[in-house]
Amino acid sequence: MKKVNKNFYILLLIEAIVIAVFVRIYQFGMIPGGMNQDGAMAAVDAKALADYGTDRFGMRWPVHLTAWGFGQMSALLSYLMIVPIKLFGLSVFSARLPMLLVSLASLVILYFFARDFAGKNTALAVLLFAAINPWHIMQSRWAIDCNLFPHFLLAGVFCLHRGISRKKSWLYLSMVFFALSMYCYGISIYTVPLFLLAACILLLQRRKVTFLQVLGCVGIYLLIAWPFLACMIINAFQLSTIETPFFTIPYFPYSMRSNDILFFSPQPLAQLQQNAVALLKILSQVYSGPRWNEIRGFGTLYLFSVPFMLLGMGIIFRRYRKSIGAALIVLWFLTGAAAGLITANVNINRINIIFYPMILFTGIGIWATMRFLGQKKVWKVLRLVIPLVYCAAFCLFVSTYFTTYAEQAADDFMEDFGKAVTEIKGTEAEKIYISADAQYKGYGHVSEILTLFYMDIDSKEYQNPEFHQRFTFQIPFNPNPEEDAVYVAAADDLMRFPPERYTIENYGKFSVVVPRFAED
């Protein structure tokens, strides 16, 4: 097992690529059904940027998005959506396409990174595991801004390692990806600088970079990242919005995300304990969070992967002093763990940067186990057990993902609401009443953003006061059957519409209701 037959290696490499691509593109845009509200919001802003160079509120090329008004959102995903939306129009497919492409590209980067520091055999094991990894598959098939973060960080670490082991030009390229990662997710404000500071100290200590090279890297990083950093400073100190000819650095008067950080929590010790427990559950694969992040019974790595992950972690930590690649992975993992402790209400989304180190640990642990078993003739047959178990787990995962999970996810992503709203697209009714219960009862802001997405409402129309006069995101208690109106009503609201006065067309949990006089 010290060497793998060249033809067999190529066959396995092709197999990994085919499996990875197929499981991520099969029924892409249809499963999961519906649309997550954050993904819909990113797409609506992307459409506005594509049409007018502003977000849906009219802000010109913002470096950070207003989002709900009471919570900000990273902007890079929306900017990546611009081209697909221009090409294919506003749809679930075009909104999710950037995440799919970035995820597939990251598998290639992951393979070459593992090959650079650990050899081609280890890299193959890592790629094979990543191809069937539940977390990686699931995050690639829907759209949310924070899931860009681990991919851009991976690209930065890969280029940084190559800049040390190969040409220095890679070193400076890494700063481009580290800087862009700042626009992927808000927690980058304390995770990326923390990682870069630790990496800088390590590389200077080991004389892998010079002080002049560090200054050059800092310059490139700040050249790209400074608008985001300035945005965080402006909002921390309540300063005025900065408008430049090329972009806007906004102040959000009704939004402050500092409560998401442990140090600003009203009960920091209790929050720290809660975060630590959640972090341990995520690492040990017993965490039970939202369905869009994991499927119960499989975890993010498969439940039985924990021993391989711990073995790989031990191998990497032992190589910390001898291998720059191992040292960077250790710093990366510790940064992710620190994010888990610092970020309030930590979940899989919020510490997603930790999963690439965990995938690397697991792939390395699997390969080390395969090599060990190959040294003993009596145990050689056991080598078959590992790939067979993973094949079985992957088949079970896929069969669950595309069947029972697909039904559950469609409910989580409010597919019925989307179908009902799509049905009234193009209506000429004077008034449009839409239920505030798309996600939870009374969440009118979610209903609004999904309506903007499914009805493909132009941002100029949205900014017009007439839009808010025509659209009401609440069903009236006593609807007027003589009013020229159309309704998207939840099941609980249907009792307000007597069937002799209204026509009701059902779309699962939501219905389109039209006064009968409008049909005459």
Write the pLDDT tens digit of every residue in 307-340.
999 999 999 999 999 999 999 999 999 999 999 9
Rounded Cα–Cα distance for residues 367 and 222 (Å): 39
Rounded Cα–Cα distance for residues 323 and 18 (Å): 31
How far, CA to CA in Å, does 14 sit from each of 19, 20, 109, 341? Answer: 8, 10, 16, 39
* Stretch 39-56: mean pLDDT: 97
- Per-residue pLDDT at 381: 74
Q: Quickly list H helices, 237-288.
A: 268-283
Lowest model confidence (mean pLDDT) among 56-60, 266-270, 328-332, 457-461? 266-270
- Per-residue pLDDT at 465: 95
What's the whole-number average pLDDT of the chain?
Answer: 93
* Stretch 203-225: mean pLDDT: 97
In which band, very low, low, confident or very high, does the pLDDT at 418 lie, cut at 50, 70 and 90? very high
Sequence-separated (6 or more) residues with CB below 8 Å from residue 366: 125, 129, 308, 312, 386
Sequence-separated (6 or more) residues with CB below 8 Å from residue 500: 516
- Per-residue pLDDT at 259: 61
Q: Is 362's pLDDT higher than 70?
A: yes
498 cis-preceded (ω within 30 degrees of 0): no
In which band, very low, low, confident or very high, does the pLDDT at 18 lie, cut at 50, 70 and 90? very high
pTM here is: 0.95
- Per-residue pLDDT at 427: 94
Write the pLDDT tens digit of every residue in 187-201.
999 999 999 999 999
DSSP assignments along 101-163, one per residue: HHHHHHHHHHHHHHHHHH-HHHHHHHHHHHHT-HHHHHHTTS--GGGGHHHHHHHHHHHHHHH
* Stretch 49-78: mean pLDDT: 94
Task: Mark 303-319 as b/e (b = at least 16 C-beta within 10 Å).
Answer: eebbebbebbbebbeeb
- Per-residue pLDDT at 507: 96
Write the pLDDT tens digit of every residue in 365-416.
999 998 888 777 666 677 788 999 999 999 999 999 999 999 999 999 999 9
Q: Which residue, chain included where needed, has tokens 């129009």?
A: 89
Number of other residues whose CB lies within 10 A of the CB of residue 465: 7
Q: Is 63's pLDDT higher than 60?
A: yes
Q: Is 1's pLDDT higher than 50?
A: no
In which band, very low, low, confident or very high, does the pLDDT at 3 lie, cut at 50, 70 and 90? low
At CA 312, angle to CA 309 and CA 314, rounded to 5?
A: 110
* Stretch 220-238: mean pLDDT: 96
Structure tokens at 438: 């798309």
- Per-residue pLDDT at 256: 60
The residue among 14, 347, 300, 372 whose CA lies nearest residue 138 is 300
How far, CA to CA in Å, does 175 sit from each of 168, 210, 277, 310? Answer: 12, 16, 33, 30
Write the pLDDT tens digit of every residue in 70-116.
778 999 999 999 999 999 999 999 999 999 999 999 999 999 999 99
